[in-house]
Chain A
Amino acid sequence: MLTEFGKILIFFILGAVFVAGGLIASWILRPNRPYPEKLRPYECGEEPVGNAWVRFNVRFYVIALIFLIFDVEVVFLFPWALVYRELGLFAFLEMAVFLLILIVGFAYVWVKGDLDWDKPKPVIPQVNRPIQSIDQPVVKSEPVTS
């Protein structure tokens, strides 16, 4: 009576109704009294200073791009794995060629250093005053020019 796709449609509609129902109910019930001080951006109690847009590192974009490529490769692997039994050696060799091309790309990305997550070097503070201990002979340091 109902196709398989029809059952998925019912599921989808019920999910949408559940979410929308919650949002609409709270829209009816909640108070809404905005005024300028309430709408200011939050900055731990201080007056907001400067732009809220921050430059963030390009390594996030690089990692996302690499993830996308290999995620699509995995999506192609799933249906191949389902029908692999019936297709035999030909399917195996075909997928091996596909994977080989992508492994070459993966090796390039690895060697180029796009998979590394750089950590900042620790900065050790330099003190330009000689620190003397009771065991060492006393060293006369440079006098402060008066």
Chain B
Amino acid sequence: MGLLDYKFENSNVFITSLENLLNWARLSSLFQMQFGLACCAIEMMAASASNFDIMRFGVIPRATPRQTDVMIVAGTVTLKMASRIKRLYDQMAEPRYVISMGSCSNCGGPYWEHGYHVLKGVDRVIPVDVYVPGCPPRPEALLEGIMKLQEKVRKESLAKKKQTA
């Protein structure tokens, strides 16, 4: 039901400790939706494997969007795939985040000029939180992207977002 979701006008001392607890719990167990589309998927697999191991950060791959917190879009997004990405992003449960990995999903990558079937950046269909540059990015770069996302989650709050004037 979400009794406490976005119900407070501004943060007070009552809920900051609750926020800290919630944010710590959420950032330590970011279940990822394995969304490897192209070559960046290999680097994502390398990051999940034993040498770099994102599982020690709590990032466990799940196959269904209903059980995940973060979708790591790794690889070239074609126009055919873009509608599926939108539908899968809609089927994720809040709080949900998106990491765009690699230059193809950041901005179209090497296909930016002549690609007739490539979506120039996945942020044309879904909102992205962290962009990880590289072609493909090294596993350490993906790890840094996940840590930046953890920093972002740490600053989330239960209070209503202030309307910027």
Contacts and interface: CB of A to CB of B under 8 A. Distances in A.
Judged by CB atoms under 8 Å, the answer to whether A and B touch is yes
Interface of A: 27-33, 35, 37-38, 40, 42, 44-47
B22 interface: yes
A40 B94 contact: no
Given A28-B3, A30-B5, A31-B95, A42 B64 contact: yes
B14 to A, nearest CB: 14
Contacts of A32: 1-2, 5
B165 interface: no
B88 A45 contact: yes
Nearest to B25: A29
Nearest to A33: B94
A31 B94 contact: yes
Contacts, number: 46
Contacts of A46: 84, 87
Given A33-B94, A42-B64, A42-B66, A28 B4 contact: yes
Q: How big is chain B's contact interface, by range?
A: 20 to 34
Interface in B69-117: 83-85, 87-88, 90-91, 93-95
Contacts of A37: 87, 90-91
13 contacts: A28-B3, A29-B2, A29-B22, A31-B5, A31-B94, A32-B2, A33-B5, A37-B91, A38-B90, A38-B91, A40-B90, A42-B66, A45-B88
Contact of A27 (B3, B65, B85): B3
Interface of B: 1-6, 18, 22, 64-66, 83-85, 87-88, 90-91, 93-95
A47 B93 CA distance: 18
Nearest to A37: B90
Nearest to B83: A45
A14 B20 CA distance: 28
Contact of B1 (A27, A42, A47): A27
Contact of A42 (B3, B5, B91): B91
A33 B18 CA distance: 20
Nearest to B92: A38
A38 B94 CA distance: 10
Contacts of B94: 31, 33
A145 to B, nearest CB: 39
Q: Which of B2, B64, B66 has the most CB of A within 10 A?
A: B2
A44 B4 CA distance: 32
Contacts of A42: 64-66, 91
Q: Which of B22, B85, B87 has the most CB of A within 10 A?
A: B87
A30 to B, nearest CB: 6
A45 B85 CA distance: 7
A31 B6 CA distance: 8
